Amino acid sequence: MSRAVTAVSSEEKLIVAGHVFSSRLIIGTGKYRSYEEMRSAHDASGAEMVTVAVRRVPLDRSSESFLDYLNPSLQILPNTAGCYTAEDAVRTARLAREVLQTDLVKLEVIGDQTTLFPDNEQTLEAARVLVKEGFVVLPYFNDDLIMAKKLLDAGCAAIMPLAAPIGSGLGVQNPANLRIMREQLPDATIIVDAGVGTASDAAIAMELGADGVLMNTAIAEAKDPARMATAMKLAIEAGRLAYLAGRMPKRLYASASSPLAGVIK
Amino acid sequence: MRIFINGESRELSGTPSLAELITQLELPATRIAVELNREVVRRSEWSGTMLHEDDRVEIVHFVGGGAG
């Protein structure tokens, strides 16, 4: 049995526009108590891609490059976090590409400061511009099938529906939406982004058919981030295997596992 | 000459190039990206790009972050 599981794991890769990842977990780089803590969590998670934000350089003091603290083997996924208009997101993506020499971008256009919900309209507008400029666009958006279709039609390489508000840790709030998205878009690469709080949340996202999960706060704000990172790694693998295995149907009443015949009288 | 760097007003002497500005600011030349009046300026073009009165320069780098 362990051989079968290994076989499934090794042939299973997450592919985003030609970039191949063995791990289906993508993690953030914010909110850690120290760089050392971040790095040990990254190592424990097995993630091969991490997302970073773009910000103004402070002019009044020297600042070391944050990138130096990342394991050099990691693929860096710049994001447009903090942008509230399509124009600012496009500018941010262009700046990131200039430094990182990668076309990958996690596109975020936020619509509201309290909820950090995406502005879907601006996100779509930015996605169209960036795709035209050769970016590999991974947009954060509401878990809405119609928006998912529009983003894919615009040429996005993968789509990143939220599970719950960013940093909320509430877990998958609308499993039906994710399941519908999976069923209606069987060929799309769906990466659940934002809202996961603990390992079971990540497993549920994967059981619903997500191709991957992106998270930050759930690991960074855990009391022991490295341990939580390990838990997330296992949860993602478990959820993926359960999805591929195909779960049993839910039944209202009991169904005996032992044969009914031959019981002593 | 006055320009705006990351939204802050700065007085500069002479008319430096972008490359000279980066040096004056003691910023590391790697791992930063520069925008002049909302357009990215490639690193190879920094030394040939002269600054003018009221130019708006954005200089960015990378920080830890996940979303929002």
Tens digits of residue pLDDT in A69-107: 899 999 999 999 999 999 999 999 999 999 998 999 999
Burial of A219 (0-12, 13-18, 19+ CB in 10 A): buried
Longest distance between any two alpha carbons in chain B, whole Å: 41
- Nearest CA to A203 out of A172, A159, A164 is that of A172
Burial of A165 (0-12, 13-18, 19+ CB in 10 A): middle
pLDDT at A6 over 60: no
Q: Which residues of A touch B32 (CB under 8 A)?
A: 57, 99
Which residue of the set A106, A149, A223, A233 is catalytic? A106
Pairing of strands B39-41, B33-36: antiparallel
pTM: 0.91
Residue A9 is predicted with a pLDDT of 53
Please, what is the average pLDDT of chain B? 91
Contact B12, A59 (CB under 8 A): no
Q: Which residue of B has its CA nearest to A160?
A: B67
Q: Which residue of B has its CA nearest to A26?
A: B66
Q: What percent of chain B has pLDDT over 90?
A: 71
Q: Which residues of A touch B27 (CB under 8 A)?
A: 57
**What Å distances lie between residue A123 and A39, A195, A199, A240, A251, CA to CA?**
31, 19, 29, 28, 41
B38/A95 Cβ within 8 A: no
- CA separation for the pair A217, B28 (Å, rounded): 30
SS3 A20: strand
SS3 A168: coil
CA distance A99 to chain B (A): 6
Condensed to tens digits (0 to 9), the pLDDT of residues A168-193 reads 999 999 999 999 999 999 999 999 99
Q: Is the ipTM of this complex over 0.85?
A: yes
